Structure 1
Amino acid sequence: METKNAQKKAMFLMALCACLWSISGIFIKWISWSPFLIAGGRSLISAMVLGLYMYIAKIPVKVCGFSAGAGVSLAISFMCFVSANKLTTAANAIVLQYTAPIFILIISVLFLHQKIKRREIVVVIITAAGIVLFFLDQLSPGNIAGNILGILAGLFLSIMFVLVGQGGDDDSIRMSGILFAHILTAAAGIPVGAYFTSSIAPSEIWFVIILGVFQLGIPYVLYAIAAKDCSPLACSLIGMLEPLLNPVWVFLFDGERPGFFAFIGGMIVIAAVTIWCIAENKSQQAESAAAPDETRHG
């Protein structure tokens, strides 16, 4: 009974985490600063929140190749994502970032020499087709650049996940990598972004504080807590609330809406990734269930 209650609590925390993640688009749209300054300012505040949590939870900061590499990759992903939000629609930016699982699959095959299954090839093809549809809408140079940056955000996010995964089941590596990413983003983004930002309104400072505390800082703490009792699949599927809700907030409060082809492409990408996650989980469960039998008969 206690286990079920813990799982329900973890799923609720993960849903709250995804909802908070989803407010990024609207606040980024409302801030006139350079994307680098937005990303840097947001990460500076988030680093403080995350560092405080790690101190209270007694999670040590671990410096190694995996955590450092994860930090660099996630920092680049942050920069690309905020820049994409400025150049294309919020819907395009967030959905293209959610191609990360597909990049994880490709990286695992090309660099980790893992075997690829037929269904995984199908998922990659379907996702690629969905991505192509994004480029059929609003074919302005800015929009195309924003779409490319959205894809790069997903690519570098996937590299972060792969590096953390290679580091083993160690919370300190994952949390340290995220902390390093915020520190690097702040260190690079604030001076560069300040140079390209002409004016700063008081309201915009508050928006960045909201992003740093409520859109990144607290959600990563919630994710860290939820991940202890919520399976990776459940976290992934509940996390899909972010790309679904993000464009909704931007449409309701800013009036921005994705184009027809981008909308269809987004639905294809989200559906393909979701179905693949479920199929992959079932396959892993089947392999785990068969493993004892194979040992017994061997």
Structure 2
Amino acid sequence: MPLTHTRALFLMVLVTLMWSIAGVVTRHLQAAEGFEVTFWRSFFTLLALLVLLPLLQGRALLPRMRAAGWALWVSGICWSVMFTAFMLALTLTSVANVLVTMALGPLFTALVARVALGHRLAPRTWLAIVLAGVGIAWMYGTQLSLGDGRVLAGTLVALCVPVAAAVNWTVVQRSHAAGRDLDLVPAVLVGALLSVLTTLPAALPLGATAHDISLLAVLGVFQLAIPCVLAVRCARVLAAPEVSLLALLEVVFGIALAWLGAGEEPSPSVLAGGSLVILALVGNELLGWRARR
């Protein structure tokens, strides 16, 4: 069935909903924590992609991976950092803190593109960066004033996600500019493999219960592998601003699910600061979209 624009919009909303279940599912783990959480999720993501990619791309998979060259592995490293940092951050701080911090990805990407690719930043983007910075400072400053050291640790770990995402996007852009076709889904496969190999030593001895492993298997398959494949397909139909705006629904869905499904109520400072971040991002994308049209 052809993927029309309307179908792609609804599918992207479904993708963000699938992405957003990580926080609430993690809150129901019994024994798994730290690097073991990342290991099991990445392990099941790897298994799922090893099944999905040959079915979707057939014999073209390996030639595409070879044609991507070094960029595939750099992108894979970035995905590995994102996988690991995201799950570790969830064990250190609240779901709302992690998701709002991750939402800074487009702004970090703009800054990295300015340095690495020479892209000029519009005044609206500089304003969005300032507003988002104020929102983050407000959100975390209030919590740090209460003396919670885990908030700072969780923040620093969560910041690795948008930074790695920005580097990943830059690598993809450089690859396309050089005439190499870098397929993001095989890069996710490489990232899952690297994440499994690097987190296993730190995860030993494995202490997850069967209940934990089943939940992390759900995350690996339905929160990461399948939605990543779907998101790449949607990105071929939707405009970049549409994808960026719809991806922000993960923040809303994720906070709501953690609140309703695990009783993790976001603090007023998180709601206020996070709202400012989301407002800055939405305004930047809408103004940019209007200017391009």
Q: Same fold (TM over 0.5)?
A: yes
| Superposed displacement of residue 210, structure 1 | 0.6
Matched, 1:216 2:224: yes
Matched, 1:118 2:123: yes
The equivalent residue for 2:255 is: 247
State the Cα RMSD in Å.
2.0
Q: Deviations over 1:217-272 (max 9, x none)?
A: 11112112222222222222111111101011111121112221121111111111
The equivalent residue for 2:53 is: 54
Which letter does structure 1 place at the counterpart of 2:94?
A: T
- Secondary structure, in 3 states, of the residue corresponding to 2:61? coil
Residues 100, 155 of structure 1: 8 Å contact kept: yes
Matched, 1:82 2:87: yes
d(CA) in 2 for partners of 1:34, 1:242: 23
The equivalent residue for 2:36 is: 37
d(CA) in 1 for partners of 2:173, 2:115: 16
The equivalent residue for 1:288 is: none
Residues 79, 165 of structure 2: 8 Å contact kept: yes
Structure 2 CA distance for partners of 1:171 and 1:270, relative to 1, 3 Å: farther
The equivalent residue for 2:202 is: 192
Structure 2 CA distance for partners of 1:151 and 1:10, relative to 1, 3 Å: same
The equivalent residue for 2:5 is: 7
Pairing partner for 2:26 from 25, 28, 31: 28
Matched, 1:70 2:68: no
Structure 2 CA distance for partners of 1:275 and 1:51, relative to 1, 3 Å: farther
- Secondary structure, in 3 states, of the residue corresponding to 2:172? helix
d(CA) in 1 for partners of 2:183, 2:161: 21
- Unpaired runs of 5+ residues, structure 1, are 286-298
Matched, 1:135 2:136: no
The equivalent residue for 2:191 is: 181
Residues 136, 262 of structure 1: 8 Å contact kept: no
| Superposed displacement of residue 281, structure 1 | 2.4
| Superposed displacement of residue 171, structure 1 | 6.4
- Secondary structure, in 3 states, of the residue corresponding to 1:56? helix
Structure 2 CA distance for partners of 1:171 and 1:209, relative to 1, 3 Å: farther
The equivalent residue for 1:104 is: 109
d(CA) in 1 for partners of 2:240, 2:33: 35
Residues 176, 182 of structure 2: 8 Å contact kept: no
Matched, 1:166 2:174: yes
| Superposed displacement of residue 154, structure 1 | 1.3
d(CA) in 1 for partners of 2:135, 2:291: 25
d(CA) in 1 for partners of 2:51, 2:182: 14
Matched, 1:278 2:286: yes
Residues 37, 191 of structure 1: 8 Å contact kept: no
* TM score, norm. by length of structure 1: 0.88
Pairing partner for 1:92 from 97, 100, 115: 97
d(CA) in 2 for partners of 1:109, 1:255: 41
Number of aligned residues:
281
Which letter does structure 1 place at the counterpart of 2:200?
A: I
d(CA) in 2 for partners of 1:276, 1:144: 28
| Superposed displacement of residue 35, structure 1 | 2.5
* TM score, norm. by length of structure 2: 0.89
- Unpaired runs of 5+ residues, structure 2, are none
Structure 2 CA distance for partners of 1:282 and 1:52, relative to 1, 3 Å: farther
